[in-house]
């Protein structure tokens, strides 16, 4: 297994392995997990992997977390389909950490590229540990101890506004009321601190006035996407990407319309941020 850094703050390409082999190889799995903790997002090219193998690999990290808004691959219970077509293009365009509307958001997300556009459709990732470390000590001290509200309805407002959207997502809305998380969380394995607010799901900082909250969130949303904290992936068929959802944000680049794109996604359950 050969690991090559992709950018300064986070990200690495992993070469010379098939991830599916880590389903049965403890040594290979341990190497991948260690690389993930070090680099926060890993890129694997040319991964010949079935949805069942993708799930079998993911479950080595922990229980699988479903998503209330996505269909799943036929024959599986929880390998989700992320698909954009000419008739129904993808609408998620904002930087985010996956599913922070949950009390215990996922610790890991994994995407396998099945149908990839001929051009466009890159994904950007940002390291929230590097972003935190770049803040002044005074700003770090101010943010530590604050909490913020995260809301499913805010993140899926475009889907809810579609004809029949509210009816389709009524169960998800009821099951996912707003939750609070620390503005700065501590990684449970590395002990590193990371910024834990995102523009898709975070609606306000609870201890501040509405105006103060808006100002601080706007500052953080701009700060975390500075180029120095990011890495960019150009997708190819059968690319597998996995990222530590406790320490990163990501953003799809929707510049490939009207081409077709289809990904298989799976998430691993996480802990309550603290």
Ordered strands of the 147-150 beta sheet: 179-182, 147-150, 202-205
Catalytic residue among 39, 96, 112, 261: 96
255 is catalytic: no
Run of H or E residues at 131: helix 128-133
- The verdict on whether 265 is a catalytic residue reads yes
67 is catalytic: no
Q: Is 98 a catalytic residue?
A: yes
Q: What are the DSSP calls for 146-160, one per residue?
A: -EEEE-HHHHTHHHH
Contact status, residue 43 vs residue 239, Cβ threshold 8 Å: yes
Q: How far apart are CA 245 and CA 267, in angstroms?
A: 9
d(Cα 194, Cα 191) in Å, to the nearest integer? 10
Q: From the candidates 112, 250, 261, 264, give the one annotated as an active-site residue.
A: 250
Query: Which run of H or E residues covers position 20?
Result: none
The full length of the chain comes to: 274
Structure tokens at 191: 């002990």
Q: Which of 105, 95, 265 is nearest to 188 (CA)?
A: 105
Catalytic residue, chosen from 39, 67, 98, 181, is: 98
Give 238: exposed, middle or buried? Use CB within 10 Å, 0-12, 13-18, 19+: middle
Q: Which one of 102, 181, 187, 265 is the catalytic residue?
A: 265
Question: Which residues are part of the catalytic machinery?
Answer: 96, 98, 250, 265
């Amino acid at each position: 297994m050969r690991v090559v850094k992709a950018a300064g703050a986070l990200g690495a390409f992993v070469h010379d392995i098939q991830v599916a082999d880590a389903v049965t190889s403890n040594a290979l799995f341990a190497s991948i997990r260690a690389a993930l903790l070090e680099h926060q997002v890993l890129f694997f090219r040319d991964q010949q992997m079935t949805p069942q193998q993708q799930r079998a690999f993911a479950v080595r990290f922990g229980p699988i977390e479903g998503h209330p808004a996505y269909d799943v691959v036929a024959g599986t219970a929880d390998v989700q389909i992320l698909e954009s077509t000419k008739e129904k293009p993808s609408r998620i365009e904002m930087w985010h950490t996956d599913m922070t509307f949950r009390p215990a958001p996922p610790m890991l997300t994994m995407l396998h590229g099945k149908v990839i556009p001929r051009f466009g459709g890159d994904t950007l990732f940002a390291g929230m540990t590097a972003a935190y470390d770049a803040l002044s000590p005074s700003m770090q001290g101010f943010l530590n101890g604050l909490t913020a509200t995260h809301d499913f309805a805010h993140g899926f407002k475009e889907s809810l506004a579609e004809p029949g959207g509210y009816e389709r997502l009524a169960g998800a809305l009821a099951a996912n009321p707003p939750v609070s998380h620390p503005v700065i969380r501590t990684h449970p394995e590395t002990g590193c601190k990371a910024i834990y607010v995102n523009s898709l799901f975070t609606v306000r900082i609870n201890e501040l006035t509405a105006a103060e909250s808006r100002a601080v969130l706007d500052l953080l949303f701009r700060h975390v996407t500075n180029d120095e904290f990011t890495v960019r992936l150009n997708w190819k068929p059968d690319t597998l990407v996995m990222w530590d959802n406790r320490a990163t944000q990501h953003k799809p680049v929707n510049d490939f319309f009207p081409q077709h794109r289809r990904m298989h996604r799976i998430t691993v359950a996480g802990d309550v941020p603290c």
